[in-house]
Copies of this chain bind each other. A is one copy, B any other.
Amino acid sequence: MSVATPLAGITVLDFGQVYNGPYCGFLLAQAGARVIKVESPRGETLRGRGQAGSYSFPFTLLNNGKESITLNIKSPEGQRILKELVHHVDVIVENFSPGTLAGYGLGSDVLRKINPRLVYAASTGYGSTGPYRDYLGMDITLQAMTGIMSVTGDDDGPPMKAGAAFCDFLGGVHLYSGIVSALYQREQSGEGATLDISMQDCVFPTLNTQLGVFFQAGEQGPRTGNKHAGLAVAPYNVYAAKDGHVAMISFRDGHWRKLCEAMGQPELAEDERYITAGTRAKNMAAVDELVEAWTSTLSKKEIFALAQSYGMICAPVQDLQDVVNDEHLHERGTLSWTDTGSESPTLAFHTPLRFKDQTPPTLTGVADLGENTAAVLEQFLQLTPEQVEQLRQDKAL
């Protein structure tokens, strides 16, 4: 199979930190761009105290396949170096606190004047306009602000966060989307662009179901746990299996008929209490009881296979042990175990931007902090190793 590198030839300076910016940089790198991660001399938050060869899983996942340089953007010399580097790159990615780079005289206006083809791509909690533009945001607070928490969990408990960092990753992939859109436009116009991606904007549409119910009812109902947001669909729930749980959804009458067959009770499909979406919703408790009486006799894998073979939409509730060993993700090449020699194998994640019959580029590993500083400065700025060393001693790198 050939290797998919749609962004071959593109060079990126990735100032990303933690999840949002680094995920964008990861997608760029896996799409074939040359991604140079730029960190302060101390390294970014997520690199933390990891030493060469022993970075944490979260850092490795997002920074595999990137080069690493250090740059002290607080020093005038560091600022001058960035302004020179900008001549040689296509994209700058950053998810600093709002206005950080501009505060050092390195805002998009300055950098795009130096290189009018530059795509300057920023993602923040709330974007660069509007009353909250200076406010800090991270995944958990965005989950609060966007209403996610208000619709997650049971109604007898507090508002609940989703366990996954959806807001950060939605921000990161929208940032990638904006960058590639700008690069496409640049092919026509010759001009770069400044992106202003707000995590809050990106999360809003994910509440589409709840917003629909809200506008229809004129008010927000109680939280519905694992049930349908509008209590309008049944079966729709998480059901106990012999060895865990399964999730199931039946949004057409046909799904219900197929489930009745799978359960070995085809006559239920003709039962007037359950015959339409409306009557099933009205008799939701009875429907859920019928389904669980069946699921609780089988393993979650058995239910999954059986339901799928009948055309039902169902899946086991996998735990993390299941997920990292998921046979489908491994066979598809999304996950792979990497033998790192003496240590236990580590899990590698490949891009979800998959092209049919094409593999993503190989993951080349995580660069140590500043591993490529000298090479990058020698290539782009024609510095000698001695000059690089001097800059390092001057704390510009």
**Closest beta carbon of chain B to A107's beta carbon, Å:** 10
**Closest beta carbon of chain B to A309's beta carbon, Å:** 10
Establish whether residues B334 and A204, one from each chain, have CB atoms under 8 Å apart when the complex forms: yes
Question: Within 8 Å CB of A182, what residues of B?
Answer: 6, 355
Which of A72-80, A150-158, A280-288, A376-384 makes up part of the contact surface?
A150-158
Which residues of chain A in 176-208 are interfacial with respect to chain B, using CB atoms and an 8 Å cutoff? Answer: 176-178, 180-185, 187-188, 193-198, 200-208
- Given A197-B353, A198-B332, A319-B147, the answer on whether A225 and B160 have CB atoms closer than 8 Å is yes
Establish whether residues A356 and B128, one from each chain, have CB atoms under 8 Å apart when the complex forms: yes
**Closest beta carbon of chain B to A380's beta carbon, Å:** 23
A62 to B248 alpha-carbon distance, docked (Å): 25
Establish whether residues A161 and B226, one from each chain, have CB atoms under 8 Å apart when the complex forms: yes
Q: Select A238's contact among B56, B146, B161, beta carbons within 8 Å.
A: B161
Establish whether residues A320 and B210, one from each chain, have CB atoms under 8 Å apart when the complex forms: yes
Which of A34-42, A132-140, A364-372, A387-395 makes up part of the contact surface?
A132-140
**Closest beta carbon of chain B to A111's beta carbon, Å:** 13
Q: Let me know if A92 is at the binding interface, CB within 8 A.
A: no
Establish whether residues B334 and A198, one from each chain, have CB atoms under 8 Å apart when the complex forms: yes
Q: Let me know if A341 is at the binding interface, CB within 8 A.
A: no
Question: Within 8 Å CB of A331, what residues of B?
Answer: 129-131
**Closest beta carbon of chain B to A210's beta carbon, Å:** 6
Question: Within 8 Å CB of A198, what residues of B?
Answer: 332, 334, 352, 354
Establish whether residues B180 and A352, one from each chain, have CB atoms under 8 Å apart when the complex forms: no
**Closest beta carbon of chain B to A9's beta carbon, Å:** 8
Copies of this chain held together in the complex: 2
- Given A144-B245, A182-B355, A321-B220, the answer on whether A208 and B62 have CB atoms closer than 8 Å is yes
A328 to B198 alpha-carbon distance, docked (Å): 11
**Closest beta carbon of chain B to A131's beta carbon, Å:** 5
Chain A: residues with Cβ within 8 Å of the partner, total of 137
Establish whether residues B6 and A181, one from each chain, have CB atoms under 8 Å apart when the complex forms: yes
Q: Select A147's contact among B187, B203, B248, B320, beta carbons within 8 Å.
A: B320
Question: Within 8 Å CB of A180, what residues of B?
Answer: 177, 180-181, 184
Question: Within 8 Å CB of A201, what residues of B?
Answer: 329, 332, 334, 352, 354
Q: Let me know if A316 is at the binding interface, CB within 8 A.
A: yes
Query: Contact mask A288-332 → B, CB, 8 Å, 1/0?
Result: 000000000000000000001001111111111111101111011
**Can you list 21 residue pairs at the A/B interface with Cβ under 8 Å?**
A45-B251, A126-B332, A130-B328, A141-B248, A147-B320, A148-B162, A149-B247, A151-B164, A151-B320, A152-B160, A153-B160, A160-B226, A165-B206, A165-B208, A173-B202, A177-B177, A178-B354, A198-B334, A204-B349, A204-B352, A207-B320
Known: A151-B320, A214-B320. 17 other contacts (CB 8 A): A6-B185, A129-B333, A131-B327, A134-B308, A141-B249, A141-B315, A144-B238, A148-B163, A149-B317, A152-B152, A159-B238, A160-B226, A160-B238, A162-B162, A162-B163, A165-B207, A198-B354
Q: Which residues of A contact B (CB under 8 A)?
A: 6-7, 9, 19, 23, 27, 31, 45, 56-58, 61-62, 108, 126-132, 134-138, 140-154, 157-166, 168-170, 173-174, 176-178, 180-185, 187-188, 193-198, 200-212, 214-216, 219-220, 223, 225-226, 229, 236, 238, 240, 245-249, 251, 308, 311-324, 326-329, 331-335, 346-347, 349, 352-357
5 closest A-B pairs by CB: A151-B163, A162-B162, A144-B247, A201-B352, A141-B315
